[in-house]
Structure 1
Amino acid sequence: MAFADASLRIALAAVFLFAAVSKVHRARARRDFAATIHSLGPVPERAVPPVAASVVGAEFVTALLLLDPRLGVHGPAAAVLALTAFTAVVVRSVRRGDRTACSCFGRTREPMGRAHVYRNSILLAMAAGALGLAAHGRHAFDAEAIAPAIPLGVFWAFLLASFTEFFSLIRPRPATRSVDRG
């Protein structure tokens, strides 16, 4: 169980850390994320900067909470709450038919869609699993669990952060008409 707990916490922490850093590492990334928040509404223009800063701050704090198993359920609970909110925003955007580009992990041209809902659902299931383990007293990482959990957790984080790109490779594309130039 310690391996599962460590793997889930490391993967989730890496995802939250990558998401936060990707939104603030450059001025353009900060502007893109603010534009995403504004286009998703109903956030007034003047409230966009503090909302953006709050989201990024929550992602950083959640990552830190997840990495300290002595804090028990606090890290996984923060992850469940954040992912529930993020998923609700994505579902709302998809249902409204918005073409808002997702700035979850930096700039992308891909609008929010089913792949984002699927990815967030996987992350939410992982957070719920970590919360279940934490609620049952699994609060310590031992050396035998953490050593293999680090690469596995980082690998899962990479896959999940890149999920929408992988999904776009297998998703059917609309047929394009060819033009006969003969």
Structure 2
Amino acid sequence: MAVVFSAIIAGTFIASALSKLRSRSAWSGFVKSIDALELPVLRLASIATGVVASGVVGFELAIAVFVIIPRTSVYGLSLALILLTAFCAVILFAIRNKRTAECRCFGVTGQPLGPVHIARNLLIMSIAACGLFVSGLPIGQLTPMEITVVVLVSLVGVGVIASFDELFGLFSRERR
């Protein structure tokens, strides 16, 4: 089970980072979304938004690498929880201060940050926490069939997480 949780977390953070890096317009949209938050800490410290954006993507890729390596997966899962907690705090700030920043977590939706993004982050956090919980259990060598199952389950998990905004919208719309 730990392998599945780690694979979902790694895949999620890889998908998130690559969606921001896939084109200049995707990167620009991500940087603009951070700027639209008007975070006081960035203004106070005179930190350029591009530097913060680069740090977020670097952090996401580092988490993916740490989670994939068995000896460091606990650190990767812990870092994922820390980063996702920070994301939730920023989203709460945006909601509370009526900021209209777009969600560019996976680079495409452009939906304003809101409760659905906190819910998605809590889902990812629960997967990381489960991974931490079972990480001490012995797993032994995986057979090719088990590896196939891990990959398939992980792809479905990452797909659900990456499409969370769209799925939420699909199921929350009134029936006509």
**TM-score, length of structure 1 as denominator length:** 0.85
Alignment of 1:58-69 (within 5 A): 58-69=59-70
Secondary structure at the aligned position of 1:73 is classed as helix
CA offsets 1:35-78 (integer angstroms, 9 cap, x no match): 01111122247511111100000001101111111224111111
1:9 equivalenced with 2:6 (yes/no)? yes
Show the counterpart of 1:51: 52
4+ runs deviating over 3 angstroms: 137-141
Number of corresponding residues: 169
Long gaps (5+) in structure 1: 174-182
Gaps of 5+ in 2: none
Report the Cα offset of residue 141 of structure 1. 5.7
- Tell me the residue number matched to 2:133: 132
8 A Cα contact 1:6 1:145, kept in partner: no
C-alpha separation in 2, matches of 1:15 and 1:122: 12
Structure 2 counterpart of 1:21, from 18, 22, 38: 18
Work out the percentage of aligned pairs sharing the same amino acid: 29
**TM-score, with length taken from structure 2:** 0.88
Q: Give 3-state SS (helix, strand or coil) of 1:37's partner.
A: helix
Q: Provide the rounded CA distance (Å) in 2 between the counterparts of 1:155 and 1:114.
A: 23
Q: Distance in 2 between matches of 1:80 and 1:149?
A: 22
Contact 2:77–2:128, Cα closer than 8 Å, also in 1: yes
Distance 1:139 1:47, change over 3 A: farther
- Cα-to-partner distance string for 1:127-179 (whole Å, 9 max, x where unaligned): 11111222x25576623643311110111001111011110112246xxxxxx
- Taking the aligned partners of 1:141 and 1:84, their CA distance within structure 2 comes to 33
- Secondary structure class of the residue paired with 2:48: helix
Tell which structure's C-alpha radius of gyration is larger.
Answer: 1
